[in-house]
Amino acid sequence: LLTLATTALLPLAAHADALDDILAKKQINIAVPTDFPPYGFVGTDLKPQGLDVDMAVYIGAKLGVKVELVPVTSANRIPYLQTKKADLVISTLGKTPERAAVIDFTAAYSPFFQAVFAAKGVAIKSAADLAGKTVAVTRGAIEDMELTKIAPASADIKRFEDNNTTVSAFVSGQVQAIATGASVAGNMMARNPQLGAEYKFVLKDSPNFIGVGKGEDKLRTKVNEIIAGAKASGHIDKMAQKWLGRPAGTLP
Protein backbone atom coordinates (compact mmCIF):
# COMPACT_ATOMS: atom_id res chain seq x y z
CA LEU A 1 0.00 0.00 0.00
CA LEU A 2 2.83 2.35 0.88
CA THR A 3 4.43 1.75 -2.54
CA LEU A 4 1.14 2.56 -4.32
CA ALA A 5 0.65 5.74 -2.32
CA THR A 6 4.19 6.91 -3.05
CA THR A 7 3.82 6.18 -6.77
CA ALA A 8 0.57 8.18 -6.88
CA LEU A 9 2.43 11.21 -5.58
CA LEU A 10 5.24 11.06 -8.13
CA PRO A 11 3.45 12.80 -11.03
CA LEU A 12 2.68 15.77 -8.76
CA ALA A 13 6.26 16.05 -7.60
CA ALA A 14 7.51 15.87 -11.20
CA HIS A 15 5.04 18.50 -12.46
CA ALA A 16 6.93 21.52 -13.74
CA ASP A 17 5.84 24.96 -12.61
CA ALA A 18 3.72 26.85 -15.20
CA LEU A 19 5.96 29.92 -15.13
CA ASP A 20 9.05 27.75 -15.66
CA ASP A 21 7.31 26.01 -18.59
CA ILE A 22 6.39 29.36 -20.18
CA LEU A 23 9.91 30.77 -19.87
CA ALA A 24 11.45 27.52 -21.14
CA LYS A 25 9.31 27.34 -24.28
CA LYS A 26 9.35 31.16 -24.66
CA GLN A 27 5.59 31.18 -25.30
CA ILE A 28 2.51 31.90 -23.21
CA ASN A 29 -1.00 30.84 -24.25
CA ILE A 30 -3.51 33.44 -23.11
CA ALA A 31 -7.29 32.99 -23.44
CA VAL A 32 -9.05 36.16 -24.64
CA PRO A 33 -12.60 37.02 -25.77
CA THR A 34 -13.30 37.76 -29.43
CA ASP A 35 -17.02 38.60 -29.10
CA PHE A 36 -16.87 41.14 -26.27
CA PRO A 37 -15.96 44.65 -27.48
CA PRO A 38 -14.18 46.72 -26.33
CA TYR A 39 -12.41 44.06 -24.23
CA GLY A 40 -11.86 41.57 -27.04
CA PHE A 41 -13.13 41.46 -30.63
CA VAL A 42 -12.00 40.80 -34.18
CA GLY A 43 -11.03 43.97 -36.02
CA THR A 44 -11.44 44.81 -39.71
CA ASP A 45 -7.99 43.27 -40.27
CA LEU A 46 -9.44 40.01 -38.83
CA LYS A 47 -7.03 40.18 -35.86
CA PRO A 48 -8.13 40.14 -32.21
CA GLN A 49 -8.00 43.52 -30.49
CA GLY A 50 -9.33 45.22 -27.37
CA LEU A 51 -8.36 45.92 -23.77
CA ASP A 52 -7.94 42.24 -22.82
CA VAL A 53 -5.84 41.60 -25.93
CA ASP A 54 -3.63 44.62 -25.13
CA MET A 55 -3.18 43.31 -21.58
CA ALA A 56 -2.22 39.86 -22.90
CA VAL A 57 0.37 41.37 -25.27
CA TYR A 58 1.71 43.58 -22.46
CA ILE A 59 2.21 40.60 -20.11
CA GLY A 60 3.96 38.62 -22.84
CA ALA A 61 6.29 41.55 -23.52
CA LYS A 62 7.13 41.90 -19.82
CA LEU A 63 7.86 38.16 -19.60
CA GLY A 64 9.92 38.32 -22.80
CA VAL A 65 7.91 35.53 -24.48
CA LYS A 66 5.71 35.11 -27.55
CA VAL A 67 1.95 35.43 -26.93
CA GLU A 68 -0.40 32.87 -28.44
CA LEU A 69 -3.94 34.24 -28.21
CA VAL A 70 -6.59 31.56 -27.57
CA PRO A 71 -10.17 32.70 -28.36
CA VAL A 72 -12.71 31.66 -25.70
CA THR A 73 -16.36 32.19 -24.72
CA SER A 74 -17.82 32.84 -21.25
CA ALA A 75 -18.77 29.17 -20.99
CA ASN A 76 -15.41 27.58 -21.89
CA ARG A 77 -12.79 30.02 -20.55
CA ILE A 78 -12.41 28.37 -17.11
CA PRO A 79 -12.31 24.80 -18.53
CA TYR A 80 -9.54 25.97 -20.93
CA LEU A 81 -7.50 27.03 -17.91
CA GLN A 82 -8.21 23.83 -16.00
CA THR A 83 -7.22 21.63 -18.96
CA LYS A 84 -4.08 23.73 -19.63
CA LYS A 85 -5.20 24.86 -23.08
CA ALA A 86 -4.40 28.32 -21.67
CA ASP A 87 -1.79 29.50 -19.15
CA LEU A 88 -3.81 32.61 -18.28
CA VAL A 89 -7.38 33.77 -18.90
CA ILE A 90 -7.75 37.50 -19.64
CA SER A 91 -11.41 37.57 -20.56
CA THR A 92 -13.50 40.01 -18.48
CA LEU A 93 -13.35 37.50 -15.64
CA GLY A 94 -15.14 38.55 -12.45
CA LYS A 95 -14.04 37.05 -9.13
CA THR A 96 -16.60 34.85 -7.38
CA PRO A 97 -16.27 32.32 -4.54
CA GLU A 98 -17.44 29.57 -6.94
CA ARG A 99 -14.69 30.39 -9.44
CA ALA A 100 -12.07 30.87 -6.71
CA ALA A 101 -12.70 27.27 -5.66
CA VAL A 102 -11.43 25.95 -9.01
CA ILE A 103 -8.96 28.60 -10.28
CA ASP A 104 -6.77 31.33 -8.77
CA PHE A 105 -6.91 35.06 -9.50
CA THR A 106 -4.39 37.86 -9.86
CA ALA A 107 -5.04 41.45 -8.79
CA ALA A 108 -7.66 43.34 -10.83
CA TYR A 109 -6.49 44.91 -14.11
CA SER A 110 -9.58 46.75 -15.44
CA PRO A 111 -13.00 48.08 -14.35
CA PHE A 112 -16.29 46.45 -15.30
CA PHE A 113 -19.93 46.26 -14.23
CA GLN A 114 -22.96 44.22 -15.19
CA ALA A 115 -26.48 45.61 -15.50
CA VAL A 116 -29.93 45.08 -16.97
CA PHE A 117 -30.82 47.09 -20.08
CA ALA A 118 -34.12 47.48 -21.95
CA ALA A 119 -36.01 49.94 -24.14
CA LYS A 120 -36.98 53.27 -22.54
CA GLY A 121 -40.66 52.34 -22.69
CA VAL A 122 -40.17 49.15 -20.65
CA ALA A 123 -40.74 49.90 -16.95
CA ILE A 124 -37.85 48.26 -15.10
CA LYS A 125 -36.20 49.86 -12.06
CA SER A 126 -35.28 46.81 -9.99
CA ALA A 127 -35.15 43.00 -10.10
CA ALA A 128 -38.78 42.83 -8.94
CA ASP A 129 -39.85 44.57 -12.17
CA LEU A 130 -38.54 41.61 -14.20
CA ALA A 131 -41.58 39.58 -13.09
CA GLY A 132 -43.32 38.21 -16.18
CA LYS A 133 -40.65 39.59 -18.51
CA THR A 134 -38.16 37.79 -20.79
CA VAL A 135 -34.47 38.49 -20.21
CA ALA A 136 -31.51 37.37 -22.35
CA VAL A 137 -28.22 36.46 -20.69
CA THR A 138 -25.00 34.64 -21.68
CA ARG A 139 -24.81 31.23 -20.03
CA GLY A 140 -22.13 30.97 -17.35
CA ALA A 141 -21.27 34.68 -17.38
CA ILE A 142 -21.24 36.55 -14.07
CA GLU A 143 -24.44 38.38 -15.00
CA ASP A 144 -26.13 34.97 -15.41
CA MET A 145 -25.18 34.06 -11.82
CA GLU A 146 -26.18 37.45 -10.39
CA LEU A 147 -29.48 37.60 -12.28
CA THR A 148 -30.39 34.05 -11.21
CA LYS A 149 -29.92 35.05 -7.54
CA ILE A 150 -32.34 37.98 -7.62
CA ALA A 151 -34.81 37.43 -10.50
CA PRO A 152 -38.41 36.74 -9.47
CA ALA A 153 -39.70 33.22 -10.18
CA SER A 154 -41.94 34.48 -12.99
CA ALA A 155 -39.05 36.08 -14.91
CA ASP A 156 -38.27 34.13 -18.07
CA ILE A 157 -34.44 33.99 -18.25
CA LYS A 158 -33.30 32.87 -21.69
CA ARG A 159 -29.65 31.71 -21.72
CA PHE A 160 -27.50 31.85 -24.86
CA GLU A 161 -24.06 30.38 -25.53
CA ASP A 162 -22.14 33.57 -26.36
CA ASN A 163 -22.52 37.34 -26.20
CA ASN A 164 -23.27 37.79 -29.91
CA THR A 165 -26.25 35.43 -29.69
CA THR A 166 -27.46 37.09 -26.48
CA VAL A 167 -27.31 40.54 -28.08
CA SER A 168 -29.00 39.25 -31.27
CA ALA A 169 -31.90 37.89 -29.21
CA PHE A 170 -32.50 41.35 -27.72
CA VAL A 171 -31.96 43.29 -30.96
CA SER A 172 -34.37 41.02 -32.86
CA GLY A 173 -37.06 41.41 -30.20
CA GLN A 174 -37.03 37.81 -28.92
CA VAL A 175 -36.68 39.18 -25.37
CA GLN A 176 -37.71 42.37 -23.56
CA ALA A 177 -34.50 42.93 -21.61
CA ILE A 178 -30.84 41.95 -21.60
CA ALA A 179 -28.46 41.39 -18.69
CA THR A 180 -24.91 42.05 -19.80
CA GLY A 181 -21.74 44.03 -19.21
CA ALA A 182 -21.88 47.78 -19.69
CA SER A 183 -19.35 47.59 -22.52
CA VAL A 184 -21.39 45.06 -24.51
CA ALA A 185 -24.55 47.10 -23.94
CA GLY A 186 -22.79 50.32 -24.95
CA ASN A 187 -21.60 48.75 -28.19
CA MET A 188 -25.07 47.29 -28.84
CA MET A 189 -26.84 50.63 -28.23
CA ALA A 190 -24.37 52.52 -30.44
CA ARG A 191 -25.00 50.09 -33.31
CA ASN A 192 -28.79 49.94 -32.82
CA PRO A 193 -30.02 53.41 -31.82
CA GLN A 194 -33.49 52.55 -33.09
CA LEU A 195 -33.98 50.24 -30.09
CA GLY A 196 -34.02 53.13 -27.63
CA ALA A 197 -32.31 50.87 -25.10
CA GLU A 198 -31.11 52.26 -21.78
CA TYR A 199 -29.50 51.23 -18.50
CA LYS A 200 -32.10 50.04 -15.95
CA PHE A 201 -30.26 48.80 -12.82
CA VAL A 202 -26.87 47.42 -11.82
CA LEU A 203 -26.43 43.71 -11.09
CA LYS A 204 -22.83 43.82 -9.90
CA ASP A 205 -19.87 46.14 -9.90
CA SER A 206 -17.21 43.65 -10.82
CA PRO A 207 -13.63 44.54 -11.78
CA ASN A 208 -11.83 42.13 -14.09
CA PHE A 209 -9.17 39.75 -12.80
CA ILE A 210 -6.76 37.44 -14.63
CA GLY A 211 -7.43 33.72 -14.12
CA VAL A 212 -4.49 31.47 -13.24
CA GLY A 213 -4.40 27.69 -12.80
CA LYS A 214 -5.06 26.52 -9.23
CA GLY A 215 -1.84 26.39 -7.23
CA GLU A 216 0.29 28.14 -9.89
CA ASP A 217 1.57 30.61 -7.29
CA LYS A 218 4.82 31.53 -9.06
CA LEU A 219 2.99 32.54 -12.22
CA ARG A 220 0.31 34.42 -10.25
CA THR A 221 2.95 36.31 -8.24
CA LYS A 222 4.85 37.25 -11.41
CA VAL A 223 1.70 38.50 -13.16
CA ASN A 224 0.78 40.49 -10.03
CA GLU A 225 4.20 42.17 -10.20
CA ILE A 226 3.53 43.09 -13.85
CA ILE A 227 0.06 44.47 -12.99
CA ALA A 228 1.44 46.48 -10.04
CA GLY A 229 4.10 47.97 -12.32
CA ALA A 230 1.49 48.83 -14.97
CA LYS A 231 -0.68 50.54 -12.34
CA ALA A 232 2.26 52.53 -10.96
CA SER A 233 3.40 53.66 -14.43
CA GLY A 234 -0.12 54.71 -15.46
CA HIS A 235 -0.26 52.04 -18.21
CA ILE A 236 -3.43 50.43 -16.76
CA ASP A 237 -5.16 53.83 -16.75
CA LYS A 238 -4.04 54.47 -20.34
CA MET A 239 -5.47 51.14 -21.53
CA ALA A 240 -8.78 51.79 -19.77
CA GLN A 241 -8.91 55.32 -21.23
CA LYS A 242 -8.20 53.98 -24.73
CA TRP A 243 -10.87 51.27 -24.69
CA LEU A 244 -13.45 52.34 -22.07
CA GLY A 245 -13.21 56.11 -22.27
CA ARG A 246 -12.30 56.40 -18.59
CA PRO A 247 -9.21 55.65 -16.47
CA ALA A 248 -9.22 52.45 -14.43
CA GLY A 249 -8.99 54.33 -11.14
CA THR A 250 -8.58 52.36 -7.90
CA LEU A 251 -8.78 48.60 -8.45
CA PRO A 252 -8.64 45.80 -5.85
pLDDT tens-place string over residues 224-248: 999 999 999 999 999 998 888 788 8
pTM: 0.74
Structure-derived torsion over alpha carbons of residues 19, 226, 207, 149, reported in degrees to the nearest 10: 20
In angstroms, the Cα distances linking 220 to 25, 44, 67, 200, 232 are: 18, 33, 17, 36, 18
pLDDT of residue 74: 87
Q: Which residues of the chain have pLDDT under 70?
A: 1-16
